[in-house]
Amino acid sequence: MARRLPPLNAVRAFEAAARHVSLSKAALELHVTHGAISRQVRLLEARLGVRLLERRGRGLELTPEGRQYLAATREALDRLDSATADLTRRRGRDVLSVNVAPTFAINWLIPRLPAFRARCPGIEVRLVTDIETSEYSPSDCDLGVHSYLLADDQDLRRNRRTWKHLRFEQTFEEVMFPLVSPLLLRSGPRLRTPADLRGYTLLHSRSVEESWPEWLRAAGVSGLEGAASLHFDHVHFAIQAATQGLGVALGTQPCAADYLRSGALVVPFPGIVCRHSHYYLVYAEGLARAARLARFRQWFLDTIREEAAGWPALIRAAAPKPGSAGTGDGRAARRRISARAGGSRPSSAGSA
């Protein structure tokens, strides 16, 4: 018989809030915002159909049901924590849990994990690509590899003031550009300037819905609509669809690099890119000196630094070859934007 269990993040938020009798102290312990704790507690109460915490002015008070549930959840979480630590010690391996977006995990990190394992064979990496709350929580994982849109810099600065115990280390800047399969380029209509995208299916990702409008504005064809559109949950699926000739997708240097090297995709307008986001390593200050995190961090920065140096040339080299059907030099269109194709090189000099 299947267990009827509530969401683990909601249980952990309640247990911390009830133990401290404070949402703010629970937020500090779990490295999330006050609002995130409040939402998770409400989610749990709705799931259980009972009130667990009563708000009394600026304070909290446990209901009788809340006191009962606190005792049970505290014991369960303590036993789970103890069992996890015991198994890890017995295996004699350091475990590093890394939270990362699915597209970055599939297209960049996983293909390079064998190199990390060869360099650090005693560290086991566990990837977390889906969490129940949108806020990063180092209590769920040791390290986050997160991209923050340039437009969200203000929110990031505000969060950094809230999460003073977290370290945000900027690594590189993503730029965004269209991707198309050589087969579709040869068989489809002309694609010499961004305006020619009207004749193509545009592949969208719901996780970054504003990407196409953002790039089209940068290319000077704001409001352009393709001949058709396909929508996917993640960027990875849109890129895969592009390799199958279903349309034109948007990609960034790290996630598109392997496709460009293999020739599976080309960049129809290599001189037209759009600054998109910064990637950060995010981790708790208290873990900064942990050997497993420090070794992964250094490997990540070394690998990104080496690859980033070649990104501008890779994008230029991935341009359609002269004489291919539907292509042209597009020089007039390329003058519309001056952003560098490679983005900024990564830095390993402390926190951003």
Per-residue pLDDT reduced to its tens digit, 266-324: 999 998 999 888 999 988 887 888 899 999 999 999 999 999 999 999 998 888 865 45
Top-confidence residue, 155 or 299: 299
Mean pLDDT of 187-200: 94
Look up residue 284 and give its DSSP letter: E
Top-confidence residue, 23 or 297: 297
What is the distance of C-alpha 39 from the center of its chain? 22
Nearest to 10 by CA among 49, 34, 32, 42: 42
Look up residue 248 and give its DSSP letter: B
Domain 8-90 and domain 93-352, same fold? Reply is no
CB neighbours of residue 319 within 10 Å: 18
How many residues appear in the chain?
Answer: 352
- Tell me what pLDDT residue 228 has: 96
- Tell me what pLDDT residue 133 has: 36
Position 91 confidence tier, pLDDT thresholds 50, 70, 90: low
Mean pLDDT of 176-190: 94
CATH topology of domain 8-90: Arc Repressor Mutant, subunit A (1.10.10)
Top-confidence residue, 348 or 3: 3
257 has a pLDDT exceeding 80: yes
Nearest to 118 by CA among 284, 297, 350, 299: 299
Phi/psi of residue 173, each to 5°?
-105, 130
Q: For 93-352, CATH number? A: 3.40.190.290
What is the distance of C-alpha 93 from the center of its chain? 26
The whole-angstrom separation of Cα 20 and Cα 329 is 64
Domain ranges of the chain: 8-90, 93-352
Q: Which token pair is 220?
A: 């000077």
Position 33 confidence tier, pLDDT thresholds 50, 70, 90: confident
Position 346 confidence tier, pLDDT thresholds 50, 70, 90: very low
The whole-angstrom separation of Cα 167 and Cα 160 is 8
DSSP assignment string, 47-115: HHTS--EEEETTEEEE-HHHHHHHHHHHHHHHHHHHHHHHHHHHHT-EEEEEEE-HHHIIIIIHHHHHH
Which residues have C-beta within 8 Å of that of residue 253, sequence separation ≥ 6?
174, 175, 308, 311, 314, 315, 342, 343
Nearest to 342 by CA among 310, 303, 300: 310
